[in-house]
Structure 1
Amino acid sequence: MTARFLCPWILAALVAGPALAGGQAIDIDDYPSLDARQIGHLRHFAKLSRQLPGDWSEMGEYASHTSEKPYRYQLAFMLYAAASVQFNVTPAYRELYQDLIGRLMVQLRHYDIWGNWVNASRGGGWSDPKPLSELDVGWIDPVKRHNIMYSAHLFQGAATHEALYRTGEFMQPGSLTLVWPQTLWGPGATTFEYDLPKIADNFIAQFRENDYMGIPCEPNALFPECPQHALLGLILYDRVAGTEYSTEIMPRYMRQFEELKYLDEETGSFMAAWKVKQGEPFYFASGIDGWTGTFMHAWAPEYIQRVYPRQRDLHVDALLTSTEAPGEPPPGTSSLLGFMAMMASEVGDTETVDRILEHADRHYRPVWREGRYYYPRNDGPVSQEDDSLSVSALAGNAMLPFARLNPGNGLLRLHNETWPESYFEQPYIAAVDPGAVGVSQAIYDAEREALIVGLEPGPLQLAETRFEVRNLDPGTPWDVFRHGRFVATIAEGASLAEHGIEWQEGEPVRISVDATAPVSLVLRKSPGQAVAGL
């Protein structure tokens, strides 16, 4: 799983100058890459994102329940994992990730994902028990107030898309509109028009109103994990909008976090929730440590690095030796392990990540299906001879894949570093058939003026496939290396049929490759001239 080890230098490579062009040998092992299982996870994400609206196949039993099982968390964690890979591992291959994140954003706006808020907004339940006759009136709009357990993911997902691709799509008025389709209930069919600026203003107002303690998820319950997503969304929003909202919120929120003891120093765990009416924290064992720590690390890394070892020691060994029974109440061992695996991946504890993933590969019945690798929901062993353990859809589809995909400090870099403007003019690959090949490497090293590409055979088992290289400087010849060996030098207007390379004038470079075996390619700006006869 090399993607967890080889990332800190990427930004420097993207912005460096051309001083070493053509002057040093390029070792593809110096660059981050994805292994077969990581590519399989991404294929599974893509498959789930392409399902028809309202089709939640392979995603478990709950859509918008208020535990840890709602589909919104699967969609969001898949989105964040894909974004981390895009930024940290394969920055020169955008189309798969941009399409995937865009489709997940469509799914996050589906009524099934947020339609329960009309009941949840009425209060009651564990955080504020009351008889049915005393429930609040509630409201339908899932963004206007509270419910940050949904709105923060909508916001962070859209801000992530904007920060990565700078399309301006979600800055447009009404671009995050939600449709209430119920024609025979309440006000009838209704739309709630939102976009990134409108949600950002909403969050700022709520943080200020709550004296920077956070924003409640449910009435009377303010959790430590959900505001992390609002804060990360604000960091990225500031980047694209030029605002400074996050710099206002973060220090004030952190002061409240510490003064109100969101972390229980006695146990080393974060609170389960702050009860707003009672003005006190509520503690119970849960997956909140791993969840909060994963995303808080992206803006308060020193704090999380301090609390992580104790939380790891408190949870991981106990969870790895748990023999939970079928039907155990949520979140269940697999989800708790998933949260800790995510946190371990983000803080760079690869030993713990590997321990958890080895446990999952042994006990959670992973499958390879159509090139996808994942852990299907399993409610427990079917016989005494079966040594499998139950696994939630959230853990199997999203959290364990997140842990395998996210490199150490992946979210920290995504939210604190940025691609230079020149990034969008740099060479990249496109028009890849994801069924024919999986992209294991795709990065442009600006220092060496070289594009590094790695491909792995895909599930279609084709003999050959073709992809494009775009943004190559047409005024310069480029040396082509395949599997570390020099092939030829090519310039615009040339064709190397014997090597499957074509560069017609005004067109991208088109390269045909063997799709039955791994392929490594390097295209490096040539220090010399194109070879004669091209």
Structure 2
Amino acid sequence: MNIQPGPRLSLDLSKYEKLDAEQAGHLRHYHNLASQMDGEWRHMGTQEPMQEFLDAYRYQLAIMTYGVGVAHYHRTPALRSTHKPLMRRLIHKMMRREVWSYWFSTSLSGNRTDPGRTQLRTPWADPLVKENVMYSGHLLMMTSLYGMLFDDDEFEKRGSLSFVWDPLFFGLGPETFRYDNRSLQNAILCEMEKNGWIGVCCEPNLVFVVCNQFPIIAMRYNDARDGTDVSGRVLEKYRAAWDEKGMVDPSGLYVDWYFLRQDRTLAPSNIGWTAWANAYMNTWNSDKVKSLYDSQSYGFITKIDGEVQLHEEKIALEYRKLVDTEDADKNDAAVLARARGNAAALPPSFPFSQPTFGYVVQWLSELGKKEELDGLLKYADKHLQPTWENGGLFYPRNDDRTNKAGEWTHMDPFSGNAAIGYARLNVADGQKRIWDNPRKRGHVATHTWIDGIELGQGIDCLRGVWDSEESALVLTMKTWDGRSVTATPVATNLPAGEWAAFVDGELVQEGTLERGCDLRAAVRVGGEEVDVVFKWIAGLS
């Protein structure tokens, strides 16, 4: 290789979408949280102290992982070295004992989840062997997504998912529970079959619609790698089971859960679990999900006087009641005022608030509801304290549900750390498009990638795409804090031929490559964006 002056790059880079400041900021925040010393959970503290509720560490880590996944697959598909280590670190955090140790006490069960129970069960610490799909299902999807996106079999190896249970002051010595991705999948399949294919329990005796979406999606990714159709066979039985029990309530919302022993469902009272289920069920049930949007969203989401708002459960249910009984406009300021007044007189509901904002924006992003999504993000940026820290963007926790006017004020760490970022990074039908076209085993050997750049270098990558028509690999970088660093992006698996490297349009390197060879360029990166393009000039004769 040699450095020679030459003509400027003629490629128009404006046709390649860039991450905006907010999207890059969310990824940086994911990195900041995942890079904390083990045992530190800054900004991730939850309302409920035992990690049993819906804003627990496991849910935050899972959604951050899925956010990295959609960012990589849809927006910067040529970037490996930024996304893969981040996803790997999030999986590492997911396997920390602080994340899964809640299950020992939860496995005792009780009459809140199993009405009529008068005696506790014998507890067990293994977080994967049965039930607990609210953890095991996410871990399966996280590791399956990692394997599918990066063609890496790390978590398919025996014992790669190992959990050590060794409390300091009780027990009869350490216990180790050894799994891998496929044995975890088999454990979940066994539970599904045992329960008549209605799904696996989250808490003892309770089967939630939403929590079972994640292992089903994971099975699809594994099918792509293994050449199987496990997900297809599961869905056939899963659909039939829910057709019998009735997934959709007369309200249009999905039932909150199914009581396994009592063989009955619980009617829904909030949009949260319906919205979250839809954000991922759109993969395999898109027509149904999209057909239900209007009946599910009204009252919870309004657009009045040009402002999109989300409404707290009691207000939304009062709103829906007024609309249904009086045939009122579904976006009427007067109806909203009455609903807020009526709700103010109602007694307090459950002491902890669902992370509804995060559920809803994931749903809106997946369904491509741009007006509603942009409206809620604008509301968040105006009212919910967007905060920048070390280049990362998040929304800090606020446990108050509404202000005195009845307007939304609640922000939980699930939404503020993970889900709002996911919604900004996702695209319309983002999960569905991955479901329809998962990457197959072996793809990494033939695809063209950019390696050599990591978030730990202080660099945000705003572009990372391979354009096969132009035979160009495009990378755009900047440092989050304005300092200057030297980066060495590596273009891998380039087709054979004459190649040139351009930095901000100027030729810096050129040479001849055999097929599969790499090309690298040393670049100074600072607070201003720098564009690096590896461009094919001519093929080998």
Q: TM-score, normalising length from structure 1?
A: 0.84
- Pick closer, same or farther for the CA change 1:71–1:528 going to 2, 3 Å: closer
In the TM superposition, 1:262-281 aligns within 5 A as: 262-264=247-249, 266-281=250-265
TM-aligned CA deviation for residue 317 of structure 1? 2.2
TM-aligned CA deviation for residue 285 of structure 1? 1.6
TM-aligned CA deviation for residue 134 of structure 1? 1.3
Residues of 1 paired with 2:498 and 2:390: CA distance?
Answer: 39
TM-aligned CA deviation for residue 95 of structure 1? 1.4
Q: In the alignment, is residue 213 of structure 1 matched against residue 169 of structure 2? A: no
Q: In the alignment, is residue 445 of structure 1 matched against residue 435 of structure 2? A: no
Q: In the alignment, is residue 69 of structure 1 matched against residue 55 of structure 2? A: yes
Cα contact 1:64–1:114 (8 A) shared by 2? no
**Aligned twin of 1:523:** 534
**Aligned twin of 2:84:** 98
Cα contact 1:376–1:393 (8 A) shared by 2? yes
Q: In the alignment, is residue 511 of structure 1 matched against residue 533 of structure 2? A: no
**Aligned twin of 1:349:** 369
Residues of 1 paired with 2:184 and 2:50: CA distance?
Answer: 21
Cα contact 2:311–2:408 (8 A) shared by 1? no
Per-residue CA deviations over 1:94-125 (Å, capped at 9, x if unaligned) read 11211111111111111111112122112114
Per-residue CA deviations over 1:60-82 (Å, capped at 9, x if unaligned) read 23465322121100000100111
**Aligned twin of 1:320:** 310
Per-residue CA deviations over 1:156-210 (Å, capped at 9, x if unaligned) read 1111111111221111111011111215323431111111121121122222222
**Aligned twin of 2:334:** none
Per-residue CA deviations over 1:283-307 (Å, capped at 9, x if unaligned) read 1323111111111112221221111
- Pick closer, same or farther for the CA change 1:177–1:472 going to 2, 3 Å: closer
In the TM superposition, 1:58-457 aligns within 5 A as: 58-61=43-46, 62=48, 64-129=50-115, 134-264=119-249, 266-286=250-270, 287-317=272-302, 320=310, 322=312, 329=350, 332=353, 335-380=355-400, 389-419=409-439, 421=442, 423-432=444-453, 434=455, 435-457=457-479
- Pick closer, same or farther for the CA change 1:380–1:203 going to 2, 3 Å: closer
Q: Secondary structure at the match of 2:78?
A: coil
Cα contact 1:64–1:71 (8 A) shared by 2? no
- Which of the numbers 456, 459, 463 marks the counterpart of 2:484? 463
TM-aligned CA deviation for residue 472 of structure 1? 5.8
TM-aligned CA deviation for residue 388 of structure 1? 8.8
Q: Which is further off, 221-230 or 461-470? A: 461-470
Q: Secondary structure at the match of 2:302?
A: helix
Aligned-residue sequence identity (percent) comes to 26
TM-aligned CA deviation for residue 465 of structure 1? 3.1
TM-aligned CA deviation for residue 419 of structure 1? 3.6
Cα contact 1:82–1:101 (8 A) shared by 2? yes
Q: Which runs of 5+ in 2 are unaligned?
A: 1-8, 304-308, 313-339
- Pick closer, same or farther for the CA change 1:512–1:418 going to 2, 3 Å: same
Cα contact 2:258–2:265 (8 A) shared by 1? yes
Cα contact 1:433–1:467 (8 A) shared by 2? no
Residues of 2 paired with 1:159 and 1:433: CA distance?
Answer: 22
- Count of residue pairs the alignment pairs up: 488
Cα contact 1:64–1:72 (8 A) shared by 2? no
TM-aligned CA deviation for residue 89 of structure 1? 1.0
Residues of 2 paired with 1:227 and 1:210: CA distance?
Answer: 12
TM-aligned CA deviation for residue 309 of structure 1? 2.7
Q: Secondary structure at the match of 2:489?
A: strand
Letter in 2 for 1:231: I
Residues of 2 paired with 1:221 and 1:382: CA distance?
Answer: 30
Cα contact 1:442–1:453 (8 A) shared by 2? yes
Cα contact 1:236–1:415 (8 A) shared by 2? yes
- Pick closer, same or farther for the CA change 1:208–1:269 going to 2, 3 Å: same
TM-aligned CA deviation for residue 336 of structure 1? 1.1
TM-aligned CA deviation for residue 279 of structure 1? 1.0
RMSD: 2.9
Per-residue CA deviations over 1:456-505 (Å, capped at 9, x if unaligned) read 3422x22353222222648522244555x564661159xxxxxxxxxxxx
Cα contact 1:463–1:514 (8 A) shared by 2? yes
- Pick closer, same or farther for the CA change 1:30–1:424 going to 2, 3 Å: farther
Cα contact 1:68–1:331 (8 A) shared by 2? no
Letter in 1 for 2:84: Q
In the TM superposition, 1:474-485 aligns within 5 A as: 475-481=496-502, 485=505
Q: Secondary structure at the match of 2:138?
A: helix
Letter in 2 for 1:167: D
Residues of 2 paired with 1:347 and 1:330: CA distance?
Answer: 31
Cα contact 2:460–2:480 (8 A) shared by 1? yes
Residues of 1 paired with 2:42 and 2:284: CA distance?
Answer: 35
Q: Secondary structure at the match of 2:220?
A: helix
Q: Secondary structure at the match of 2:188?
A: helix
Q: Secondary structure at the match of 1:408?
A: coil
Q: Secondary structure at the match of 1:376?
A: coil
Residues of 2 paired with 1:372 and 1:196: CA distance?
Answer: 31
TM-aligned CA deviation for residue 278 of structure 1? 1.6
